[in-house]
Every structure is written in structure tokens, then in C-alpha cells.
Amino acid sequence: MSLRPAWVPALAGTALAGTAPAGTALAGTALAGTALAGTALAGTALAGTALAGTAPAGTALAGTALAGTALAGTALAGTALAGTALAGTAPAGTALAGTAPRRAVILAGGVAQPAAFVRAEVRPTDLLVAADAGARMALEAGLRCHLVLGDFDSLASSDLARLPADTPLWRHPPAKDESDLELALREVARVGVQEVVVLGGLGGRVDHLLVNVGLLHLGADLGLTVRLLSAQEEVRLVTDAHGALTLAWPVGRLVSLVPLSPTVLGVTLEGFRWPLDGACLRWGTSRGLSNVLETSPGRVTVREGRLLVIGATTDLSCET
């Protein structure tokens, strides 16, 4: 049985301290009044069995229990109720394979986003990971990180001291081959996350911006769906691997298409002011700049290559 790293919460859905998704239970416990499939609630009997109370407490009459069932509120060996982990089957702080949340939010160490914006984007069921100075965004938003990692060259010691004492800190040497954001992407992919939202990865230094956008390549190679998001813009990637991207964005949003591979073939736009039908877009040209979504949801389809889809979340329109 594979185990997840200690920093991943045992109960999926604990990104915000003390919260849990509706309908889940703490590790090893049962929801009040519920039972595993094929079992009976306390005081009832399975079809063909005797009424409760005809056998000693906690036992079943010979031949009257369905194979593989258990008394109400208990779990079969090696199983658990949805969203829980078996008590005593994993080291403290770890989770069983299959219980990791599907989505993670990574707070990058670039341009900090407003606290209210950050709070609005983080769901109770998300894994929350800070890359170096991204931890400051969590502090300002009043959020608790499941993991803070990086070389900590841009996170002040005073900010480190403000983190909860039990926050997992993974310190990497400054002389490393990956950026802190890349380390975070690789880690959430390793624990089974499928969708990632990166806050704080846009704006600021041009070299960091270009590398962060390029990391969408890495995300796709790792099997992740990654969005770079700020209070002003959102950047996504559509590839020939999944073929199409549906955009449930507001009508009137400014949308630009930028090839991330030298040539992108079979580009088709639906719901846009200037539609395309099987077009070819090439890196270094501006054909995909400043389109407008006129029907939501819109759709961007690619037959070959990788294409950036950039949407303005605020009015950034201008004539170029």
C-alpha cells in the first residue's frame, strides 16, 4: 500500500485549518448513522439474518453476515470510508494513496496578489503550497500552508517566524538547477494532484515571467492542468494532447493566443469575434493578439503544437 508524503493532509480537504468537506469524517471514524455498502445500521439486520440482539454484541450468527461486510460504523481491513484514512495504517501525518486532493494552489514568490483575491481563489479542499516568498501571501491572507519550500532567499526571517510552528518547511540549497516554482510543481505532481493554480507567477522580472510561462510546458509533461493567475490576467495552455480548451470566461473578455511551440497547426476558435478554422499560428508573429470572447463558453482547439491562451481578467484593452 503506497503512502503519501507527511506534508499531505490525511483528510483530503483541510487546506483551511479546521475545515473538512461536507460528508467526510476524520481518519478511522464513521459518519453518524451511516454504514459501509452491504452492512446494516446498528439495530437493523441484513436480509435473511436474525434481528439485532439475537447474538452477542459485535458478532453475527453463523452464515448470516454478507461476505466482506462489517458492523455499522467500522471499516473492513484495508478499506476506509470515502475521504478518510485507516487508523494505524500509515505514519502520523501521511495519507493513503487515492486520498490526495485533485487541486493545488501554489503561491509563487513573484508579484504578490491582494489578500482578498488570494482567499477567494483558495478552496477548502485545495492543497496550499508556498514557493519561498509566496508564503508571505498566505500570511497576509490568513491562510495556512500545507508546505513551504524553496531556498528562502526572498522570504525574510521575520516572515518565517510568523508561520505556524508545525508548518512543513523544505529548505533547498541556493545553488540549485530549478526555480522554487518548478520545485513546487514537481512536488504536487508527485503526490497525485491533477489541477494547479499558480498565484504570484505573473508580472515582475521579465526573466522570471518568461520562465514561469515556460513552466506550463513542464506542467503538461507532468500530466497537470496548470493556470497562471493574477488579479489582472490568466494564462493557460492548450496542447495537441487534449486537443481543446473550453473557456467559461465572461463575454467581452480580451483573449490573446501565443504559440509556445514554433508552429501550432489546426487552430480553431469558437465563440470569438474573429474566429479561426484550422489556422496555422507561428511563434514570432502576432496573428493571435487581442481577440474578444463573444459567446461563453468559448472553445480553442489545436491539432498539433502547444498554444498559450491569455485572458485579461480586467480591462486591459488598447490599440497595438
Residue 107 pLDDT: 97
Q: Of 142, 192, 150, 195, whose CA–CA distance to 168 is shortest?
A: 150
pLDDT tier at 4 (50, 70, 90 boundaries)?
low
Q: Is the pLDDT of residue 37 over 90?
A: no
Q: Supply the mean pLDDT for the chain.
A: 76
Q: What pTM was estimated for this model as a whole?
A: 0.70
Radius of gyration, CA atoms only, the chain: 24
| CA distance between the termini of the chain | 57
pLDDT of residue 52: 39
- What integer pLDDT is reported at residue 32 of this predicted model? 39
Same CATH fold, 237-312 and 1-21+70-231?
yes
The string of pLDDT tens digits covering residues 231-282 is 999 999 999 887 899 999 999 999 999 999 999 999 999 999 999 999 999 9
Report domain extents, the chain: 1-21+70-231, 237-312
70 vs 60: CA distance, rounded Å: 10
Q: What CATH number does the domain located at 237-312 have?
A: 3.40.50.10240
pLDDT for residue 116 is more than 90 = yes
Least Cα distance to 112 among 142, 136, 132 occurs for 136
160-171: pLDDT as tens digits: 889 999 999 999
User: 263 forms bridges with which residues in the sheet?
Assistant: 282
Task: Return the CATH superfamily for domain 1-21+70-231.
Answer: Thiamin pyrophosphokinase, catalytic domain (3.40.50.10240)
Segment 147-163 shows an average pLDDT of 90
pLDDT of residue 313: 77
pLDDT of residue 86: 29
C-alpha span between 64 and 54 (Å, rounded): 12
Residue 12: the pLDDT is 40
Residue from 306, 179, 131, 182 nearest 236 by CA: 306
Q: Tell me the pLDDT band of 29, cut-offs 50, 70 and 90.
A: very low
pLDDT tens track for 75-90: 333 333 333 332 333 3
